[in-house]
């Protein structure tokens, strides 16, 4: 949770207190070095108020379980991302990540382990994402990553790093943990969020189908 609300409100309050103190010293001969007891109480109250603001902002933007951005944040931010991409004449790639056989994990190992698996996947996605990337828990066992697109090689490398990291997690949890990842590129393959999701979803299910054929 960031401190933006607390920093802003404390900065404003401190500036106001200093302005009032200077005014009192200049025009009312107020002792300049008297301990600002009332000011201290106001600062503490402002910090607590800023804390509540930061908590509300966090809950409005973040998924509680994984601390990734949530669907609401994504829907609100996507138009701004597209505007930035268009302005810089860049490309954007959407990774649509679905946890394989997650229902089986919940049914056989329980929801507590299931939650831990989702948290681990979220950590892996954050670990292998760039600072500018937006990582989202989209719904249940589905995640999104929005990233600047460079080339197919870098895309394949990112997917490979995620899968390899999850293989190590499988050993730790003593359970098979893997994901299917579909992709869609803006603006080449789609221009809206719904269309990008559709293209990436179709790509993901094609990969799932191909993997099942290989395993049979």
The closest of 132, 102, 133, 104 to 120, measured between CA atoms, is 102
Tell me what pLDDT residue 61 has.
Answer: 86
Alpha carbons 169 and 121: distance in angstroms, whole number: 9
* Per-residue pLDDT of the chain in tens (216 residues, 90 and over written 9): 565 666 777 777 778 777 877 867 777 777 777 767 777 777 777 766 666 665 666 667 899 899 999 999 999 999 999 999 999 888 899 999 999 999 999 999 999 999 999 999 999 999 998 888 999 999 999 999 999 876 778 888 989 999 999 999 999 999 999 999 999 999 999 999 999 999 999 999 888 776 665 555
Q: Would you tell me the crossing angle of helices 102-109 and 111-127 to the nearest 10 degrees? A: 140
Distance CA 177, CA 191 (A): 32
The pTM score is 0.76
**CA–CA dist 167, 89 (Å, integer):** 36
In the block, residue with structure tokens 């049979």: 216
CA gap 197, 200 in Å, rounded? 5
Ordered structural domains, the chain, with CATH: 4-61 (no CATH), 71-215 (3.30.70.270)
Of 124, 91, 126, the residue nearest 196 (C-alpha) = 91
Note the residue count of the chain: 216
Catalytic sites, residue numbers: 141
**What integer pLDDT is reported at residue 207 of this predicted model?**
81
Residue 69: what are its φ and ψ, rounded to 5°? -65, 150
Distances 25 to 12, 16, 91 between C-alpha atoms, Å: 20, 14, 58
Q: What distance in Å separates the CA atoms of residue 13 and residue 8, rounded to the nearest whole number?
A: 9
């Amino acid at each position: 949770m960031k401190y933006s609300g607390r920093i802003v409100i404390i900065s404003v309050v401190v500036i106001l207190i200093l302005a009032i103190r200077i005014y009192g010293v200049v025009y009312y001969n107020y002792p300049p070095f008297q301990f600002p007891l009332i000011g201290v109480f106001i600062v503490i109250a402002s910090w607590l108020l800023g804390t509540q603001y930061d908590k509300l902002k966090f809950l409005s933007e973040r998924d509680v379980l994984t601390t990734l951005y949530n669907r609401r944040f994504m829907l609100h931010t996507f138009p701004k991302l597209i505007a930035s991409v268009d302005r810089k004449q860049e490309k954007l790639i959407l990774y649509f990540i679905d946890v394989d056989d997650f229902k089986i994990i919940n049914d056989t190992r329980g929801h507590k382990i299931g939650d831990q698996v989702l948290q681990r996947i979220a950590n892996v996605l954050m670990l292998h994402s760039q600072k500018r990337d937006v990582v989202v828990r989209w719904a249940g066992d589905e995640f999104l990553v929005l990233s600047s697109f460079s080339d197919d090689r870098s895309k394949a490398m990112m997917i490979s790093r995620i899968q390899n990291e999850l293989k190590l997690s499988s050993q730790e949890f003593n359970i098979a943990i893997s994901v299917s990842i579909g992709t869609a590129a803006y603006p080449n393959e789609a221009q809206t969020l719904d269309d990008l999701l559709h293209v990436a979803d179709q790509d993901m299910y094609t990969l799932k189908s191909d993997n099942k054929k290989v395993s049979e």
